[in-house]
Amino acid sequence: MKKIALASMIISVGILGACSQEKSDNMKGMDHSNMKMGEMDHSSMDMKDMDHDKMKGHMSHDKVISLNDSTGENELKVPTLLARDHEKGIVYTVKAQKGKTEIFDGTESETYGYNGMFLGPVLRFEKGDKVKIRTINELDEPTTFHWHGLEVSADVDGGPHDVLKPGEEKVLEFEVTQEASTLWFHPHPHGKTSEQVYKGLAGLIYIEDDHSKGLGLPNDYGKNDFPLIFQDKTFDSKKQLNYSAAKNEDGTIGDTLLINGTLNPKLTVNKEKVRLRLLNGSNARNYTFKLNSGDSFLQIATDGGFLNEPVPLQEITLTPSERAEIIVDFSSIKKVNNLALINEDGAVLLPFEVTDQNGVNRKIPEKLNDFSLEDNVMHLPVTKKVELFGMMDMVTINGKKFDPERIDFTQKQGDTEVWEIYNKPDMMGGMIHPFHIHGAQFKIISRDGKDPSKNERGWKDSISVKPDEKVKIAVQFKHKGVYMFHCHILEHEDNGMMGQIKVE
Ligand SMILES: [Cu+2]
């Protein structure tokens, strides 16, 4: 039996390999239906029988469909800052809804949004705020409201257990106890997360505190402080986001980049230091961001807060759900034609138009935070092992798929434990899995035994884990309850690459 299943898989992979040479940069040419869980038994695989190179090109995202250049014809849209409710006790109302959005001139695309037609507003919190949020589901399908990166008790975290049916609403209460950071929110209903995010459900959370307000960083929203939500999409011939047509079990990738929902965006800035809060809000695509002038920029924050000092970089890679805050100094940047933010392939993501106007001449502080990795924590033994494995819909964590009835790990509230995340390669070589833990900001101890790079020495809630890489992280939960940990390639998550930890 096993041999027959394996043989049929080799044949189907052979066909895929052949088609890859004709349609090398088009993932949509793949037929995933030939490869289903259960047909494949890794233990019986013989690596020598496989055409490694052909398969690697396809399956490991070595050749993902490339992005179209932004023509820069549309000024970047900036999400609205959500106004607080005046109703007693309720701070914000967040409503998931359907809508129509003119992404392409003259055509309406069907989209989802929070408090609007597409994407969501920015929710601003201050450390110490006692927050009440009324969440409302106005969709025709169940959804949840997950606050990605927020350290709150599991009953308000919005994981797959907290489903709101169409028409339902629920008031959540929590206190903001963590430091200044750029977080985000998105739905998390099991099996439907990828489609709902793809259609437009994603918004940002800004946390400020006394420290962040005193640093003198650019913070004039929409003037020198911009959020940039990167999402790649495939639009069909009618300019619709047809998820089932675009879907790839191994992570849905598109040729069209939207930033904050803007097609062909351009950003106009003054000659000053500008803060860009980058969010990889894509289902699966990784981005390496750089300036086409070759200039460096400063990274000032990771997922969950400021780095200790600004880190100069010429490029930064973000896997799905990771954030970074960077400062680009447009007063000293090299004069080049068509200055733009580009990716690793040189695709133009965001052209910049620099006006003649000088902005505030500010100094970025040399010390931004007091993040530390204590010696005793660094030398704690590994007490949780997470093995990420597989591809397409054959993805697992520690050999298992998500089961809402199963608790995979337990940990005590307030205890710090060292988790080792291992990305076990498969016969294709494997692929990067972005690993996320709910309800906690954690610290990277090491990558394959080596210190993390300077720009990863800060609070993280999502990390990229390369094939065959082992990442050790120090994890502490401030609150109790059952939290998810999972791959943030949204199709992998929906395909069960997710586990549960009970914090007691
Ligand atoms: Cu994955």
pLDDT tens digit sequence for 329-386: 999 998 778 999 999 999 999 999 999 999 888 999 999 999 999 999 999 999 999 9
CA of 62 from ligand 1 middle (Å) equals 15
CA of 348 from ligand 1 middle (Å) equals 26
Q: What is the pLDDT of residue 254?
A: 97
CA of 312 from ligand 1 middle (Å) equals 29
Q: What is the pLDDT of residue 59?
A: 42
Average pLDDT, the chain: 89
CA of 393 from ligand 1 middle (Å) equals 10
Q: What is the pLDDT of residue 37?
A: 36
Q: 248: closest CA among 408, 456, 431, 423?
A: 431
Q: Which two structure tokens, joined as six digits, stand for 17?
A: 């390999």
CA of 392 from ligand 1 middle (Å) equals 9
Residues facing 82 on adjacent strands: none
CA of 122 from ligand 1 middle (Å) equals 28
- Tokens 């408090």 sit at which residue? 115
CA of 197 from ligand 1 middle (Å) equals 16
Q: What is the pLDDT of residue 63?
A: 66
CA of 77 from ligand 1 middle (Å) equals 30
Contact, 462 vs 282, CB < 8 A? no
CA of 492 from ligand 1 middle (Å) equals 5
Letter string b/e over residues 263-293, b meaning 16 or more CB atoms within 10 A of that residue's CB: bbbbbebbbbbbbbbbbbbbbbbbbebbbbb
CA of 35 from ligand 1 middle (Å) equals 16
**Residue 76, SS3 per DSSP:** coil
Interval 232-255: pLDDT, tens: 999 999 999 999 999 999 999 999
CA of 497 from ligand 1 middle (Å) equals 7
Cα–Cα distance, 67 to 236 (Å, whole number): 15
CA of 1 from ligand 1 middle (Å) equals 28
CA of 194 from ligand 1 middle (Å) equals 12
Q: 5: closest CA among 50, 41, 52?
A: 41
Residues (pLDDT < 50) of the chain are: 1-61
Q: What is the pLDDT of residue 419?
A: 98
CA of 433 from ligand 1 middle (Å) equals 4
Residues facing 397 on adjacent strands: 388, 400
Cα–Cα distance, 265 to 341 (Å, whole number): 11
CA of 250 from ligand 1 middle (Å) equals 8
Instruction: Give the predicted TM-score (pTM) of the model.
Output: 0.88
Cα–Cα distance, 94 to 298 (Å, whole number): 33
Residues facing 384 on adjacent strands: 419
CA of 444 from ligand 1 middle (Å) equals 19
CA of 247 from ligand 1 middle (Å) equals 15
